[in-house]
Structures are given as C-alpha cells and as structure tokens.
Amino acid sequence: MGIKGYCTLKNLGSVFIGYPENGEEYEDIRKTILEASYLPIMDIAVDGDGLMVIEPKGRCVIDVRNMESIRSWFECEEYGGIIMPRNLNMVEKLVFWSKRTGRKGGYGAIVKQMVIMSSLHKGKFTDDFLFQNQ
C-alpha cells in the first residue's frame, strides 16, 4: 500500500493516535504530529470523512476520524520518487515521471517538498509551478 496523499492537522480533537497514552513517547508523538509540516496519508475512508495517516517518524499510525481536524489535504500517489495525480495508467505515469525527472533542475527532495506544500496550500495536487519558467 502506497501513499494516497498528504495532509496537515489543525488539532487533535477527533484524532486517535495508535500508541498507548501511558507510553514513554506519547507526548513526544503528540508534539511531533502537531508540529509536522505535512503527514502522509495511508488510506482514505470510503465516505471521505476520515484519514489514516503516518506519524512523521513512523512510530505509529493516526486515525483522523473527523475531517474538521484537517487543515488541508490532497490526494496523490508516488511513483519512482515523483508525486503525481492518482489514477494514471502505467503509460501516463511513465510520461509524467520522465517529464519531471527530465526538467532543468531535476526532481529532488526539495522539489518534492515544494510540490507537497503547494498542493496543500491549494487543496489539490499541483506541480504547474515547476514548468513556469522553462
């Protein structure tokens, strides 16, 4: 199962943290979750009213049971280290991947973070800014 998107949280109001509350790292995990720039989404509820996300350090999963706790989110998938829209067929993925990796400046970790942050800001996947000045 791969990444299905990214999100940011407003609060932990309707969030279940999959780690014992009396565990030694629980408070650190809560702090890490709230301070995270973004969280990867593992799964999206069938009715779209919840998300299953991963804690930034991979120590536990987080069940977001109400979308009111979400500040922003977008759907995507990752193929060969490149973030792209969901539901592309294999040929479309290869074309998308080759265009991004072949661009002047490449597609490294910083560019990937820029794509995530821009998409979170707009609430949908976008990487149009990568090709504005080429």
Give pLDDT tens digits for 1-18: 689 999 999 988 889 999
pLDDT for residue 48: 75
pLDDT tens digits, 12-55: 888 999 988 888 899 999 999 989 999 999 999 887 788 999 99
Alpha-carbon distance values, 105 to 80, 86, 99, 108 (Å): 17, 24, 12, 9
Query: Which pTM value belongs to this model?
Result: 0.89
Q: Per-residue pLDDT averaged across 56-64, rounded?
A: 91
What mean pLDDT comes out for the span 117-123? 96
